[in-house]
C-alpha cells in the first residue's frame, strides 16, 4: 500500500573507536584486520574477571576541545559530538561549530546508547556514598542514555525530532531504522543517526557475571569461542534523500536500502537458538529494501563470539539464505572493535558502508580455522565463510546486511546497497 519509497543516501559518516578518532584510522585498521582489543586504562580492572577491551583513548581533535562546554561533557557525549562533526563535514554540509547547522530543511537526531554517562555516574556514586563532599552533582548531568544524542543536537542546533533508543545491543541499529523512516516520510530532510557508548564498570562487571566474556580477544564463529570482548566509541551516519545529496554535487557513500526489526520473545539473555527471530528481522529488512536475498553479497554479522549468539545467528543466516549461507562472505567487526553494546549497530553500519564504498570486505584476524561447532539445532556442520586476515575484494558487491541481535531478544537488521550498483530497487 505504500507509495514508492524515497531513496535514502548515506552522505557522510563519522566514528570514534579503539582504532582511533575518525573514520580514517577506523578503515585503515578494519581492512588490515587489526584488533584494538587489549589492555585498557579507563578504570582499574584488576578485580574484574577479565582484563581486555578496545578502548578509545582520549585523542579528540583540538578544534572539538574548543567547543564551549566540551570539558563538562561526558566521554560518551564527546564521542557522539566528534562523530557527528566528522560525518557532517564529509557530507559537505554547512556546519559552524557552536552556531549549528545552516541550510534549509529540518534535521533530526536518532541515537542509540546503552551506557550514556554511566562511567561518570559511577565515579559520582562512589563519592556520594563514601565521601559526599567530594561528589559533584553536575557529574550526573550527562548520566542518562539520552545525553549523548542530546549533546550533539544541542551543539549542532538541531530543531527537529531528537530521540534516543536504549534496547541493549540493538539500540544503534534501531535508531538507524527510525531515522530511515523519518527521512522517507519527509518528517526530516536530514537525519543524524548513530550511537555512542563508553566503557564503564557496570556493564563490564555485568557481562562478566553472566560469564559471557572471553579473557582473550573474542573469536566470533570459531570453534572454542569463549565469549565477547568490550569496546567503546561512537558512529554516525548522515542520511538524506538521494536527490538532496546529488543536488549539491555530493556523492553518496552508499544507499540505506532498508531496515527490519523483531523480537525473539524467548528469554531475557539467551537468543532463540533456532534463529527464527533474527531471521524475521532479516526478512523484514529485505522486504523493506525491496531486494531479493540473492542480491545480498556479504554480511556484517552481530558475531559477538559467545557460544549461543553465533550459533543462533548462523541458524538465522541459513534460514534466510539457505544453501547459499555457507558461501556468503561474513565479517564480524566485533573481533576488531569489541562490542560497543548500544552503539555496536551504528559502528557496524559504518563499517558496512565503508566496505561497500571501498569495494572490499574487512577481515577478522585468524586465530584458528573457522570451523563451526555443530549444536543440536544444526543438521550439518557448515562453516561460516568468515573473511580472515586479508580483505576480500568485492568491487561489484550489490548490497550487504548488518545484523544486531540484542540481550532481551530485540533484533535489528539493516540493508545497505552500493552506490552505483544497478539494483531491482528503484527500477
Partner 1 sequence: MSQVLATPDRIKRLIVDSLHLEGVQPEMIEDEAPLFGEGLGLDSVDALELVVALEKEFGIKIKSQEMDREVFSSVSTLSHFVEART
Partner 2 sequence: MGSFDEPGRLSRSILLTGLGTAGAYGCGAASLRQALAAADPQIHLSEVDRAAGYHRVQGARRAFLTERLFREGCLKEWLAPGEARRMSPPSKLAVAAARMALRCAGFADARCGSEATSVTVATTFGPSSYSEALLRQILFEGPESTSPFYFTESVANAPAAQIAILCRARGPSVTVCQREAGVLIALSQAAGDVAAGKVPHALAGAVEEVTPLLHALLDRFGALAGPGPDGTEVARPFDRRRDGFLAAEGSTMVFLETEESAVARGARPLARVLAWGSAFDPTAPRTGWGTGAKRLARSLVRTLERAGLEIGDVDRIVSGASGSRDGDRLEAGLLRAAWGDRPLPPVLAPKATVGEYAGGFLAAAVLAAGGAPFGPTPGFAEPDPALGIVPHDGSPLSPPSAVLVTSLAAGGAAAWLVLGAPPT
Cα 114 to Cα 76, 168, 169, 341, distances in angstroms: 10, 6, 8, 6
Neighbours of 82 (CB within 10 A): 26
Q: Which residues contact 412 (CB under 8 A, 6 or more apart)?
A: 170, 173, 174, 176, 177, 259, 260, 261, 281, 345, 403, 404, 406
Q: How far is the CB of 264 from partner 1 (least distance, A)?
A: 15
Judged by beta carbon, residue 269 or residue 375, the one nearer partner 2 is 269
The span from the CA of 352 to the CA of 173, in Å, is 12
CA angle 176, 185, 288 (to 5 degrees): 60
Tell me the HSE value of 165 on the side-chain side, using a 13 A CA sphere.
Answer: 30
- Residues serving a catalytic function are 169, 302, 339
| Dist CA 164 CA 150 (whole Å) | 8
* Residue of 211, 371, 374, 396 that binds partner 1 (CB under 8 A): 211
> Interaction with partner 1 in 229-268: which residues (CB under 8 A)?
267-268
The nearest distance, CB 347 to partner 1, in angstroms, is 28
* Residue of 165, 176, 245, 296 that binds partner 2 (CB under 8 A): 165
Cα(248)–Cα(338) distance, rounded to whole angstroms?
37
Q: Pick the closer one to partner 2 by CB: 197 or 360.
A: 197
Binding mask 303-342 for partner 1 (x = CB under 8 A): ----------------------------------------
**Which of partner 2, partner 1, none sits in contact with 294, Cβ below 5 to 8 A by type?**
none
Residue number, 35 or 404, with CB nearest to partner 2: 404
Contact between 115 and 76 under an 8 Å Cβ cutoff? The reply is: yes
Q: Which has the closest alpha carbon to 193: 261, 239, 242? A: 239
In the list 102, 210, 247, 374, the residue contacting partner 1 (rule: CB under 8 A) is: 210
Restricted to residues 280-339, the positions that interact with partner 2 (CB under 8 A) are 280, 284
Of 140 and 270, nearer to partner 1 (C-beta) is 270
Among 208, 229, 309, 315, binds partner 2 (CB under 8 A): 208
Residue 291 or 356 with smaller CB distance to partner 2: 291
The one among 62, 63, 131, 268 contacting partner 2 by CB under 8 A: 268
**Candidate residues 11, 35, 142, 304; the one interacting with partner 2 per rule CB under 8 A:** 142
Partner from partner 2, partner 1, none contacting 270, C-beta within 5 to 8 A by type: partner 1
Site string for partner 2, 93-132 (x = CB under 8 A): -------x-------xx----x-------x--xx-xx---
Site for partner 1 in 263-282 (CB under 8 A): 267-270
Return the one option of partner 2, partner 1, none that residue 406 interacts with (CB less than 5 to 8 A, by type).
Answer: partner 2
Per rule CB under 8 A, is residue 136 in the interface with partner 2?
Answer: no
- Shortest gap between Cβ of 269 and partner 1 (angstroms)? 6
CA atoms of 210 and 408, how far apart (whole Å): 14
Pattern 352-371, partner 2, x by CB under 8 A:
--------------------
Q: Which is nearer to partner 1, 138 or 211 (CB)?
A: 211
Q: Which does 64 bind (CB under 5 to 8 A by kind): partner 1, partner 2, none?
A: none
Q: Which is nearer to partner 2, 201 or 300 (CB)?
A: 201
Binding site for partner 1 (CB under 8 A): 209-211, 226, 267-270
Amino acid at each position: 500500500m505504500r507509495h514508492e519509497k524515497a531513496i535514502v543516501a548515506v552522505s557522510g559518516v563519522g566514528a570514534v573507536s579503539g582504532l582511533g578518532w575518525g573514520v580514517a584510522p577506523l578503515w585503515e585498521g578494519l581492512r588490515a584486520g587489526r584488533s584494538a582489543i587489549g589492555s585498557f586504562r579507563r578504570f582499574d580492572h584488576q578485580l574484574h574477571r577479565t582484563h581486555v577491551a578496545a578502548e578509545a583513548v582520549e585523542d579528540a581533535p583540538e578544534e572539538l576541545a574548543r567547543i564551549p562546554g566540551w570539558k563538562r561533557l561526558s566521554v560518551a557525549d564527546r564521542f557522539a559530538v566528534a562523530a557527528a562533526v566528522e560525518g557532517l563535514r564529509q557530507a559537505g554540509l554547512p556546519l559552524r561549530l557552536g552556531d549549528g547547522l545552516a541550510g534549509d530543511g529540518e534535521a533530526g537526531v536518532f541515537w542509540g546508547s546503552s551506557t550514556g554517562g554511566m562511567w561518570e555516574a559511577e565515579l559520582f556514586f562512589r563519592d556520594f556514598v563514601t565521601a559526599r563532599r567530594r561528589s559533584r552533582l553536575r557529574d550526573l548531568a550527562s548520566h542518562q542514555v539520552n545525553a549523548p544524542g542530546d549533546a550533539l543536537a544541542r551543539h549542532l542546533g538541531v530543531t527537529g525530532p531528537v530521540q534516543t533508543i536504549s534496547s541493549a545491543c540493538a539500540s544503534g541499529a534501531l535508531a538507524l531504522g527510525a531515522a530511515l523512516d523519518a527521512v522517507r516520510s519527509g518528517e526530516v530532510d536530514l537525519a543524524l543517526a548513530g550511537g555512542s557508548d563508553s566503557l564503564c564498570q557496570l556493564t563490564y562487571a555485568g557481562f562478566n557475571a553472566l560469564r559471557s566474556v572471553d579473557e582473550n580477544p573474542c573469536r566470533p564463529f570459531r570453534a572454542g569461542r569463549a565469549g565477547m570482548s568490550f569496546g567503546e566509541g561512537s558512529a554516525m551516519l548522515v542520511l538524506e534523500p538521494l536527490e538532496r545529496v546529488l543536488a549539491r554535487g555530493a556523492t553518496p557513500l552508499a544507499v540505506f536500502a532498508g531496515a527490519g526489526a523483531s523480537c525473539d520473545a524467548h528469554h531475557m539473555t539467551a537468543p532463540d537458538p533456532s534463529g527464527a527471530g533474527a531471521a524475521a528481522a532479516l526478512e523484514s529488512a529485505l522486504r523493506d529494501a525491496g531486494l531479493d536475498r540473492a542480491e545480498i553479497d556479504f554480511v556484517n554479522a552481530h558475531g559477538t563470539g559467545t557460544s549461543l549468539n553465533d550459533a543462533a545467528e548462523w541458524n538465522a543466516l541459513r534460514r534466510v539464505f539457505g544453501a547459499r549461507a555457507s558461501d556468503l562472505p561474513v565479517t564480524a567487526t566485533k573481533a576488531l572493535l569489541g562490542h560497543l553494546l548500544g552503539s555496536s549497530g551504528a559502528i557496524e553500519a559504518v563499517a558496512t558502508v565503508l566496505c561497500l564504498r571501498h569495494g572490499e570486505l574487512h577481515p577478522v584476524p585468524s586465530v584458528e580455522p573457522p570451523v563451526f561447532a555443530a549444536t543440536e539445532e544444526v543438521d550439518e556442520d557448515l562453516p561460516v565463510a568468515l573473511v580472515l586476515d586479508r580483505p576480500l575484494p568485492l568491487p561489484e558487491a550489490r548490497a550487504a546486511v548488518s545484523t544486531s541481535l540484542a540481550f532481551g531478544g530485540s533484533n535489528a537488521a539493516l540493508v545497505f546497497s552500493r552506490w552505483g550498483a544497478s539494483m531491482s530497487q528503484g527500477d
